Each structure stands twice: as structure tokens, then as C-alpha cells.
Structure 1
């Protein structure tokens, strides 16, 4: 087989390498072309060198090109994969820093909450630019695979406004299933069967079978509470399991910022989170992790390049959906996964226009969703709160409507639990002004926002958050990795 895959935001080095090696685990795909594109020529050069080394070490005919000209990369592509973070770490720092001034403590801030909504405002105009290029220069009926957050908002915009064949992909379901298999004592994750449904980052394991035996709430709660690690790292998630009756796919830290109950009081936050790793609830945890990872990659690049000389091992192919979807579409080897698509009746008690995440099967005929799923009422109610925020956020981003943007932020569950309307109005003004370079649709609103900020009497505070850690230096990271290696 010979076709072209374009990867937008290919400077996401670790993730691009994973997607690349996964795809090359499919024997039929050795002779394809990967076209890498990114706004950073520096990052592109680094990742191309790594991928070229992989191709050379494995004696493959695979072609790798790299360009900052996105349209050139998309020309003739059959599949387009997006891993973009518009504004990079600079804008992301404001997604965490500014809401903290108004008492909003986020762990990640990339899905909803104040940070995720502004992230969507930066991404959506760019996503629509991608869709325009795909429609004009890619293969007819090219498929757009979106990995970029905020997943639901980006996918919603691409489908409703970009009019491109789009699927959103995430790995939260797989990670949650691995946890469940472990606490239940499964010898392999393949012993666990499940139906997981909802919206991205709020997906629920509504049916669990271990070797065909149905697993109920009480058994699952007991298994998690008996686990020596997860019982401490997933306290909030276990509490939601007890109250809702089903387990959430999303990590303790992620889930905590989508709900209005666990992060609204600073003195309560530490009760529900765990500081053994950022993902369990640390304030701005993913920002710190991302910063450290980027610094580490820049410093230790020769090691990454050397590691690329190893043979590709198909046994180590990851459970990221992209390679499996492409394999099913091209070879008709059927793949079952969980995909982000427009609802259209798949989940009976969520809106038709919402982007849902639910089981589907892929073959030559495309992605075929399993329809007629009904969520437990509490799960549907929680999803509905986020869907309403997502819908307003998408429409605000398309129209450049700062008033609708403020209403979207106001209706966010955690923001509404913490902040007053006056605080929300000022916070959004401050974020739009700070991120104006990445928000062209709000250029007309920036002067008035600056005037309001100059006259505002809403009080803020300089606050690092309830559970903040400093970014570690390269030396500290080296020492930590050496200690871990020594202890096994």
C-alpha cells in the first residue's frame, strides 16, 4: 500500500514518534509517506531526524518529509492527524495562572473549566484553517483524526463548521480499563470486556465483564479500596464511583476539575488529591510536567536520537487508536474502539449535536458506532453540564463573541462553584487580553476589555494554588531518574 499521512503539530515529539512506530507495525504500511508539519522549524528538525533514524535502522522504504508549510504537507494526504497546542506553553501558563487569581484551581485545564475554554478559543480558528486546507488539497474524502484538546470542542468545530470527515481520539478509556483489570486481578487486560460511554474525559464504564462475569459496583469499590496504590491516588474517583455506581475513565486530577464539588474550597482540595504524580490532582500539574518534559527532551536529545536506532517491535505497539483505525480502514481487519463523534442518537439521553465518546467498530466501510446506549442519570447530568459549556464555547469561538464566551465560562461547573459573575467577567477580559496574539477573532473586543480592566474594582489575589510544585531542573530530574533506576 502507498498513501500519505500528514501530522499537524508534529513537533509534539514523543507523541509523534509513538504514532509513527505504531503505524509502521502494520506490515502493509511500510511504503507510505509521512508529511510532518509544525510552526516550529526547530522542533520539526528534531523529530524528522528521529524518524529518519527509525526508518534507516529498520531498513524501510517509508518516506518522511517535514515542512512549516501546512498546505504543502496536506496536499494529497489520505489521513491527517492533529496534535496541535495553539499558543504552546506560554499561553497554557496563562490558562492556569490567571484563573488562580480568581480562586479557580485547575490540575490540567485543557478540556473545560476556564483554561480549557480559552484553549478551545485559540484552537478552533486554527482547526477550521486545517479543514479548509483538507477540503482543498488533501485526497477526496480524507479523514481527519484529531488528538488535540479540548477534544470535544475541536471535533465539534471540525464537523459542524469545517465540514470534514472527523473523528476525535483519546486514550482515557484504555487507561481506565487497564486500572480496572489490575484491581480485579486480571492476568491480562484482554480478560476485561467493557462498554464505556459518555463524552471525552467524562466517559463511564457502564458495563464490565471479567472473563464473561459481570462486575458490579460493590465488587469494584472493594477492589479499588483494597489496592495499595490506587486507593490513595484515586480517592476522588473512588468517591464518584461510590455515589454514581460506575467508574469514570478520567484521572483523579482531570475528573476533579470537571465537577463542582471537590476543588471549590482550597482547604478541601488536598483531601481529595494525591501528590505522588501530577495526574492525581496537583495544581497546574500538567503544565509543570509538560515544561519539564520539553526541557528534558531539549537537553537529552542525543539519547532520544540514539534510542531511535532500535528495531521496531510490533509487540510493543501501543493502544493509541490511530494505527488500528488506519489498519481497519485499509485492510478490513475489524477494530473495536471508543471514538469521539457527533451523537446522532448513539447515546439516547444526550443531545444530538453533542460530541460523544462511545464504542464503535471500524472496517473498510468506516467507523460504525454502536447506537442506542443510555447512560445512568447521574452520568448524563454531569455530561450535560459540560456539553452546554462546550456548545457555547464553540459558538463563541466561531463568532468571536466575548459576551457568549463569558457566559460559557460562567456556566462551567467548577468556575460557577468558585467565582461570582463579576469575577468571571473580569477574568475572561484578562485572559483575552493576555492571549490576544492567539485569538484573532476577538481582536475587535480587546480595546474595550483593556478599558474595563483599567477601571475594574474586582479584587484578585496572587496565589500559587492549593497544591503547587515548582518546575524541576534538569539536574533534579537526572537525580530522580537515577534514584528510580537504582531502586529497580
Structure 2
């Protein structure tokens, strides 16, 4: 086969490499073209060197190009994959740092809550630029695969306003299923059959069967509470399982910031989180992890380049959806997965305009969703709260209406549990001013926001959150990796 895949934000080096090797595990895809594009020439050249090394080591006819000219990369592409982070770590730091001044303690801040909403404001105008280029220079009916967060907002904007065939992709469902299979004693995750449905990062395992046997709430609770690691790392997630009756796809840290109950009192936060790894609830944990990962890659790049000389092992193909979707579309080998699409009847008790994450099947005719799923009422209620925030956030990003943006933040479950309206209004002004370079749609609102900030009497505090850890040095990371290697 011969077709072109464009990857936008290809400077996300580790993830781009994973997508690349996954796709080349499909025998029919050896001769395709990958067009890499990113705003960073430095990152582009690093990832291109790695991919070129893989191609050379495996004696493949695969073509790899790299350019900062996005439109050129998209010319003639049949598939476009986005894994961008607009504003990079600089803007992301403000997503975490500024809300902390108003008492809002986030672990990740990339989906909803104050950080996720502002992240969406930065991403959506750029997503629409991608869509314009796809419509104009890519293959007719090219498919846009969005991996970038905030998943629901980005996908919503691409479908509703970008008018491009778009699917949102995430790996939370797969990781949650692996956990469930492990606690139930399965020899392989393949022994677990499940239906998982909801919205991205708030998806729920509403049906579970292990080797054909139905698994109920009580058995699942007992299995998690008996597990020597998850019983400690997933305390909040297990508590939600007990109360809702179903398990959430999202990690302890992710889930904690989408709900109004667990992170609103500083002295309560440490009760529900675990500090053994960032993903279990650490304040700004993903920001620290991302910073350390970037620093590690820059320093240890020769090792990454050397590792690229190894043969591709199809048995190590990951469970990321992209390669499996492309394989199904191009070869008609059917793939079942969980995809982010416009609702339109997929879930009966969620708004029809929302972006939902639910089961579907892929073949040469496209992505075919299973329709008519009804969520448990508590799951639907929680999802609807987030959907209302997502809808307002998308509309604010499209219109540049700062008042609507403030209302979206005000209605966020965790923000509303922690902050007053006056605090929210000032916080949004502060975030828009700080991130003005990436928010062109709010340029008209920045002078007035600055004026209000100069006169504001709303008190803030310098607070690092309930569970903050500093970024570790390369030497500390090396020592930790050496200790882990020695231990096991």
C-alpha cells in the first residue's frame, strides 16, 4: 500500500515513535509515507533522526519527511494525527500555577477544571487551522485522528466547526481494563470482555465479564481492596466504585479533579491521593513528569537514538488505537475499540451534541459505533456536568467571549466547589493575560483584563498545593533509575 500520514506535533518524540512503530507492525504499511510537522525545528530533527534510524535498521522502504511548514506536510495526506500541546510547558505551568493562587489544586489540568479549560482555549483556534488545511490540501475525505487534550473540546471543535471527519483517541479505557483484569486474577487482559462508555476521562465500565462470567460491584470492590498496590494507589477511584457501582477508566489523580468532592479541602486531599507516582494525585504531577521527561530526553538523546537501531517487534505493538484503526480501514480486518465521536444516539442519556467515548467497530466502511447505550444515572449526571462546561468552553474559544469563558470556568465542578465568583473572574483575567500570546481570539479583551487586575481587591495566596514535589535533576533521575534496575 502507498498512502501518506501526517503527524502534527511530531516533536512529542516518545509518542511519535510509538505511533510510527505501531503502524509499521502492519505488513501492508511498509511502503507508506510519514510527514512530520512541528513548530520546533529542533524537536523535528531529533525525531526524524530516530525514525530514519528505525527505517534503516529494519531495511524498510518507508519514507519519512519533516517540515515546520504544516500545510506542506498535510498535502495529499490520507490520515492526519494530532498530538499537539499549544503553548508547551510554559503555558501549561500557568494552567497549574495560577489556579493554585485561588485554592484550586489540580493533578493534571488538561481536560476540564481551570487548567483544562484554558488549554482548550489555546488549542481550539489551532485545531480549526489544522481542519482548514485538511479540507484544502489533504486527500478528499481525509480522516483526522486527534490525540491531543482536552480531547472532548478539541474533537467537538473539529467536528462542529472544522467540518472534518474526526475521531478522538485515548488509552484510558485500555489501561483501566488492564487493571481490572489484574485484580481479578486473569492471565491476560484478553480474558476480560467489557462495555465502557461515557465521555473522555469519565468513561465507565458498565459491563464486565471474565471468561464469560459476569463480574458484579461487590466482587470488583473486594478484588481492588485486596490488591497490595491498587488498594493504596487508587483510594479515591475505589471510593467512587463503591458509591457509583461502576469503575472509572481514569487514574486516581485524573478522576480527583473532575469531581467536586475530593480536592476541595486541602487537609482532605492527602487522604485520597498517593504519592508513589504523579498519576495518583500529586499537585501538578503531570507538569513535573512532563518537565522531567523533556529534560531526560534532551540529555539522554544518544541512548534514544541507539535504541532505534533495534528491529521492530510486532509482538510489542501497543494498544494505542491509531495503528489498529488504520489497519481496519485499509485492510478490512475488523477492530473493536473505544472512540470519541459526536453522540448522535450512541448514549441515550447524554446530550446529543456532546463528544462521547464508547465502543465501536472499524472496517473498510469506517468507524461504526454501538448505539443505544444507557449509563447509570450517577455516571450520566457526572458526565453532564462536564459536558456543560465543555460546550461553553468550545463556544468561548470560537467566539473569543471572555465572559462566556468565565462562566465556563465558574461551572466547572471542582472550581465551583473551591472558588467564589469574584475569585473566578479575577483568575480567568489573570490566566488570559498571562497566556495572551497563545490566545489570539481574546486579544481584544486583554487590555480591559489588565485594567481590572490593577484595581482588584480579591486576595490570593502563594501556595504550592497540598502535595507538591519539585522537578528532579538529571542526576536524581539517573540515581532513581539505577536503584529500580538494581531492585528488580
Q: TM-score, normalised by structure 2?
A: 1.00
CA shift for structure 1 position 225: 0.0
Partner of 1:404: 404
- 2:481 maps to which residue? 481
The C-alpha deviation readout for 1:188-232, integer Å capped at 9, x for no partner, is 000000000000000000000000000000000000000000000
Q: Partner of 2:197: helix, strand, or coil? A: strand
In 1: Cα distance, 2:255 partner to 2:92 partner: 19
Q: Deviations over 1:52-71 (max 9, x none)?
A: 00000000000000000000
**Residues 28-61 of structure 1, C-alpha deviations (whole Å, 9 max, x = no match):** 0000000000000000000000000000000000
Residue 371 of structure 1: how far off its partner (Å): 0.2
1: CA distance between counterparts of 2:448 and 2:286? 32
- Write the distance in 2 (CA, Å) between the matches of 1:319 and 1:177: 11
Q: Match of 1:81, SS?
A: strand
Tell me what 1:323 maps to.
323
| Structure 2 segments unaligned to the other structure (5+ residues) | none
SS in structure 2 of the partner of residue 39 of structure 1: coil
CA deviation profile, 1:354-380 (whole Å, cap 9, x unmatched): 000000000000000000000000000
Distance across 2 between alignment mates of 1:47 and 1:346: 38
Secondary structure in 2 aligned to 1:258?
A: coil
Please list the CA deviations of residues 261-284 of structure 1 after superposition, one character each: whole Å capped at 9, or x if unmatched.
Answer: 000000000000000000000000
TM-score (structure 1 length as normaliser): 1.00
Shift of 1:385: 0.2
Q: Say which SS state the counterpart of residue 80 (structure 2) adopts.
A: strand
Structure 1 runs (4+) greater than 3 angstroms displaced: none
Aligned to 1:395: 395
Q: Distance in 1 between matches of 2:423 and 2:9?
A: 34
Per-residue displacement from partner, 1:101-130 (whole Å, max 9, x unpaired)?
Answer: 000000000000000000000000000000
CA RMSD between the two structures: 0.1
Shift of the alpha carbon at 1:403?
0.1
CA distance in 1, matches of 2:313, 2:212: 31
1:9 CA displacement: 0.0
3-state SS, counterpart of residue 309 of structure 2: coil
Distance 2:256 2:485 in 1: 32
Give the equivalent residue in structure 1 for 2:44.
44
SS in 1 for 2:408: helix
Partner of 1:469: 469
Partner secondary structure for residue 478 of structure 2 = helix
Q: What is the distance in 2 between the residues matched to 1:141 and 1:160?
A: 16
| 1:195 match: secondary structure | strand
Q: Following TM superposition, by how much is the alpha carbon of 1:160 offset from its aligned partner in structure 2, in angstroms?
A: 0.1
Matched, 1:232 2:250: no
Rounded Cα–Cα distance in structure 2 between residues aligned with 1:208 and 1:315: 26
Q: Secondary structure at the match of 1:338?
A: strand
Offset, 1:483: 0.5
1:356 maps to what in 2?
356
C-alpha separation in 1, matches of 2:481 and 2:190: 31
Please list the CA deviations of residues 381-404 of structure 1 after superposition, one character each: whole Å capped at 9, or x if unmatched. 000000000000000000000000
CA-to-aligned-CA distance 1:417-474 (integer Å, 9 cap, x gap): 0000000000000000000000000000000000000000000000000000000000
Aligned length: 488
Q: Runs of 5+ in structure 1 lacking a partner?
A: none
Deviation at 1:353, TM superposition (A): 0.2
Deviations 1:309-352 (A, max 9, x none): 00000000000000000000000000000000000010000000
Q: Deviations over 1:11-41 (max 9, x none)?
A: 0000000000000000000000000000000
Which residue in the other structure is 2:144 paired with?
144
